[in-house]
Amino acid sequence: MIESEQPIKLWINEQIIYDRNTFIKPGSVKKSFRIRLKDGKNTVLLKTVRNSGAYEIQDGGWRFRAQLFTTNDFEQREGDNLSFGEDWYWIDNEPFTNLYHALLEIYDGNECNAIDLLERLVDEYPEYPFFRIILIYALIKSGEDWQIKMARNELGTVITQMPDCLLAKEELAVYYQVEDKFNKSLDAYTSVIEENPSYLSAHLGLADLYLNQGYEKEFFNKIEYVKENYHDNARALASLIEYYIDKENYKTTNLLIRDYLSNRPYDWAYWEGLAKYQESAGDLNGAIRTYTYISQMLPMRTKPYLELARLYQRTGHEKNALRLYDEIINRFPRCSKAYLMKGLLLERQGENGINLIRTSLKMNPSDYWTRDYLRIIGGLEGERTPYDISFESDDINRVEQHEFPQADSVMLFNQMILELNDDYTFTETIHNLIQILNYKGRERWGEITIPGGKMTDIIEARTFMPDGRILEAISIKNINNNYVISMEGLVEGSVIEIKYRLKVDKRMIDDLNCFFSPTFTFADINMPYIKSQFVVSVPRWMDIYFPRERFRGKRDRIRKDDRIIYLFEMTNVEGIIPESMMPPLTEVAPLVYSTTLKGIDELSLWYIGEMWGKTYLDYRSRSFTHQLVSDCESDLEKAKRIYYWVMKSVKGYSGNIY
């Protein structure tokens, strides 16, 4: 339902496809996504569909993001409603089974799915305010600022409906603490403790509040109270450990960690934390003893062995390290890091370890540090494709402005080199040369945004001036996981060179050996392309297909060492003139799409298998849910039973709800 006094319009690629007074025609769209609009007071959910791509919604001065989801079924209703076929995990008239599904989604890290389920539960079952509590939990866990603010507003509703709900009051105290409202937070925590003096989480929250305000005496008093009155005082010890780590008090921290581990001897994350802290404090022998104990207790984990070998190296016991690396390789023959670390140690000793390092890279092609290391020392073979080009000033053939009177700039060279690894991860190298024709081109390309983060390497960002000078970019800033590059020397006739590499170290779909390339287009709106190349390099054993292509140009296929390289090239492609109601660019521009799947049938079979398993989960979870709550007398008891079961059996510790 769209509720707004102002017209709401949905813009995609500068084209209106929805407003309050028009409807999308069934069959005119291909993929679907959901969009959540936030106007500061109410959250409005708008669902509509369109091709995949970069989505923006503009409503006056507002901008919103869109999140993809996977249903094509939708229907048109009267008024301002647009609705879709429901998601598979919703079961009508089964509120507690749906609650069970929502909690499992939270556990799996899919807070968005959980929030959708819980919002529907809250709307359809207002008589169960307990659902709203779980919704607040999911909103907070999502980490999105607007969702956290929404959770803050929901707390008042919960406290009004359930004045005895201590969890809601405790969360309110946490919000006051985050907002730096000490007195209100203190009153909220105190109120919870007065109602239930045994509420452990509130005591610890109050201790944290005291510490943040610098009241160390009150902090210690509260921690001592918890240690004296609760059998399981591990959480209090954890708070003390963090305090003494900040104070850099190694002796006390070490004793507290051991005290903690005496209460929870199988908390291996804390054992590893102890070893790391011992190392950071300079107690390397203590860290060696701790990692030795962990490796004895967890003989099938490689990390303790690797850390132990590294510490042997650090303490000068290189023979012990080499012996341990051999033991790891014999026990875990697919442990690429053992090959790498042993090879590096041998190289440091002046021996030949290059083959071990190459073996490590072959096992883990996504280890780009190792790839860069081999490239630096000249040990990387067959890595560069024959189409990877470097430009100098004399290599650039500029065009005349009168040749393209309607354009503000011209793409002299547009290239993507796609290199697939043996494990179906890949690297994209993007290389562009853009000539500025007029002042509009200067405005358009003064700042360039490319994907940022640790997986992006910027190779070139510079300007070739008409007089032969080469000017580097003024600045490169990482803003919201994007690199914003400010170019220098943009005048008529100058040429921008942007070259960067994206390293994708995750498969497209988990548990499926496949790859889908981004669609490479050989044209753009109002921008001529002089030369475009799409280069795909794959291992010789890997089959790759080009099922969707609208391409008339040069093709080539060559073999180089153990790889096969495909080339698609077009020259002198005119810019596309935009028209009213024009389809998306991918429907009209020349393009090539690549994949390792023979056809859609392979993907469909995998997808059906996944959905079949989830459908089976529906019926299984429904039966289990009925069995779990069979002896509960009230709906609130049923909700609590499900909540506690998921948190105990799946997620672990959670605060009590009264």
Q: Identify the pLDDT of residue 519.
A: 74
- Rounded to whole angstroms, the Cα distance separating 385 from 512 reads 27
Residues 6+ apart with CB under 8 A from 626: none
For 157-171, write each residue's pLDDT tens digit. 777 777 777 777 887
Question: Of the candidates 184, 180, 182, 174, which has an alpha carbon nearest to the alpha carbon of residue 151?
Answer: 174
User: Tokens representing 471?
Assistant: 């000017």
Tokens 């960002």 found at: 461
Number of alpha carbons in the 13 Å side-chain half-sphere of residue 386: 11
Diameter of the chain measured on Cα atoms:
86
Position 470 pLDDT exceeds 60: yes
pLDDT at 143: 67
Q: Is there a contact between 383 and 460 (Cβ–Cβ < 8 Å)?
A: no
- Is residue 81 scored above 50 in pLDDT? no
What band does 548 get if pLDDT is binned at 50, 70 and 90? Answer: low
Tokens for 12, please give them: 């995609």
Q: Is 640 exposed, middle or buried (0-12, 13-18, 19+ CB in 10 A)?
A: middle
Q: Which residues are registered as beta bridge partners of 82?
A: 76
Q: What angle do CA 36, 39, 42 make, to 5 degrees?
A: 80
For tokens 């062995």, the residue is: 305
The pLDDT value recorded for residue 411 is 93
Q: Is the pLDDT assigned to residue 624 strictly greater than 90?
A: no
* Residue 310 to residues 272, 279, 296, 324, 352, Cα–Cα distance (Å): 14, 11, 17, 10, 19
Residue 27 confidence (pLDDT): 32
Looking at residue 239, its amino acid is S
How would you label 176-209 residue by residue, b for 16+ Cβ within 10 Å and e otherwise? Answer: bbeeeeeeebbebbeebbeeeeebbbbbbbbbbb
Cα angle for residues 586, 592, 597 (degrees, 5° grid) = 110
212-221 pLDDT, tens digit per residue, is 888 888 888 8
Q: Kindly tell me the burial class for residue 350, based on how many C-beta atoms sit within 10 Å of its own C-beta (0-12, 13-18, 19 or more).
A: exposed
Domains of the chain in sequence order? 10-84 (no CATH), 393-598 (2.60.40.3140)
- Out of 198-202, 378-382, 553-557, 564-568, which region has the weakest mean confidence (pLDDT)? 378-382
Per residue in 512-521, pLDDT (tens digit) is 556 666 678 8
User: Does 272 score more than 80 pLDDT?
Assistant: yes
Say if CB 6 and CB 60 are below 8 A apart: yes
Instruction: Determine contact, residues 523/589, Cβ cutoff 8 Å.
Output: yes
Q: In angstroms, what CA-CA distances link 536 with 530, 532, 565, 616? A: 20, 13, 6, 40
In the chain, pLDDT over 90 holds for what percent of residues? 12
Which helix (H) or strand (E) segment holds residue 410: the answer is: strand 409-420
The whole-model pTM stands at 0.44
The stretch 50-63 carries a mean pLDDT of 32
Residue 622's pLDDT is what?
67
- Report pLDDT for 89: 54
